[in-house]
Amino acid sequence: MTARTLREFLADPNETGDAAPRDLAILIEAISDSCRTISYLVSRGALAGVLGSAGTGNVQGEEQKQLDILANDELMAMAKASGVVAAAASEEEEEARTISPGAPYLLLFDPLDGSSNVEVNVSIGTIFSILPAAAGEGAAPFLQPGRNQSAAGYCVYGPQTTLVLTLGNGVAAFTMDPPTGQFVQTAAKIQIPERTKEFAINMSNMRHWADPVRAYVDECLAGETGPRAKNFNMRWIASMVADVHRVLTRGGVFMYPWDKREPNKPGKLRLMYEANPMSLLVEQAVGKSFDGQHQILDIQPAGLHQRVSVMLGSREEVELLEKKHAG
C-alpha cells in the first residue's frame, strides 16, 4: 500500500477517483487537527499540568478530569471554526450547541474516552460521530439511528496516536508521525477476524450480569474441555477506544452489557457518543454489534445522553451472544 496522508485519502478514499464530499473532508481534517492537539497535551501529561480532576461533574454525574474539559473545548472550538457543523453535542455537555445554522453536518463526540486511565498512563482516546444535519431544535436533529452516520471514528492516544475512520465504505487507519504531525495511512479495509479466542468484559461485575451474558462467559472460561473446545484469553483496558482498537486489530469480543447494579439503566456506555460510532466501525469491518435485542445501529435514539448495553466484535461471538439472548 502506498503511504497516503489523511488529506490524500479524503481526496480519493476508495481509490476509484471519487473524493469524499468536500464538507465532510473539511470536517474530518479539522477533527484530526484537534486530535493532534489533544495527543500533544496527553503526551505531556504532568509537564503540561493537565492531569487530575477538574473538581466538576458532567451531565451524567461523573467526575470530570481537566483533560475531559480541555479536549471538549478544543473540539467545540474546531467545530465552530470548520464552518461545516450545524450543531454539536458532547458527552460532557448537557445540551447540544448550535454552531453554524444551515451547515451540512451534526457532530457528536466523547472528547476523552477512558479518562480514568489518564493518570496511570494507559491508552485513552477521542470518539466522534458525524450525522447529516436535520430539521429541528436542540437535541431533536441528533436523534437519528446510527445507520444514518455519514462518518465515524476514533483517535487512540497510546504508544502511537492512531486515527481509525469509516466513511461508510470500509475502515482505514492513520498513524500520526510525530516529527511532522501528519496522519499517514497505515491500514486499509480493516476486517475483524470472524473467529476469536479473546473476550473483554469487566469481570468484577460478574455477579450482576444477566443470565445470557453469564452463560456465554462461563463457556469461554470452561476452555478446551468445555462446549467451545478452546481456551480463551481475557483483556480489559477500561478505555473503550483501546479495547475496540484491539478488537479491530486482532479480533475479539467487547462487552459492556446491562447488569443488575442499576437495573433501570440500560447500560453504562452512551449510544450517541460511544456505541453508535464504534458499531459503524465494527460493522464496516465485517463484525457485529448488538445490545441484547437489536443491532445497535438500528436503535431509534430517544435522548442525547441515552445509555445502551453493548456487545460487539468478531461475528461468530456476537452471533453466539445473540442466540443466548434469544433464549
Q: What secondary structure letter does DSSP report for 314?
A: S
Smallest distance from the beta carbon of 20 to ligand AHG, in angstroms?
Answer: 27
Smallest distance from the beta carbon of 62 to ligand AHG, in angstroms?
Answer: 6
Nearest to 38 by CA among 68, 80, 83, 10: 68
Given the complex with ligand AHG, which of 184 and 236 has the nearer CB atom? 236
Rounded to whole angstroms, how far apart are CA atoms 312 and 299?
15
Which residues touch 218 (CB under 8 Å, ≥6 apart)? none
CA atoms within 13 A on the CB side of 279: 28
Q: Which does 231 bind (CB under 5 to 8 A by kind): ligand AHG, Mn ion, none?
A: none
Given the complex with ligand AHG, which of 19 and 59 has the nearer CB atom? 59
Q: Which does 216 bind (CB under 5 to 8 A by kind): Mn ion, ligand AHG, none?
A: none
Given the complex with Mn ion, which of 128 and 199 has the nearer CB atom? 128
Q: What secondary structure letter does DSSP report for 268?
A: S
Given the complex with Mn ion, which of 91 and 283 has the nearer CB atom? 91
Given the complex with ligand AHG, which of 62 and 73 has the nearer CB atom? 62
Smallest distance from the beta carbon of 206 to ligand AHG, in angstroms?
Answer: 12
Q: Which residue is nearest to Mn ion (CB)?
A: 113
- Which residues bind to Mn ion, rule: CB under 5 A? 110, 112-113
Q: Which residue is nearest to ligand AHG (CB)?
A: 240
Sheet (strand 171-177) strand order:
97-98, 85-90, 105-113, 124-132, 151-157, 161-166, 171-177, 182-187
Q: Which three cell numbers stand for residue 47?
A: 509537564
Smallest distance from the beta carbon of 111 to ligand AHG, in angstroms?
Answer: 8
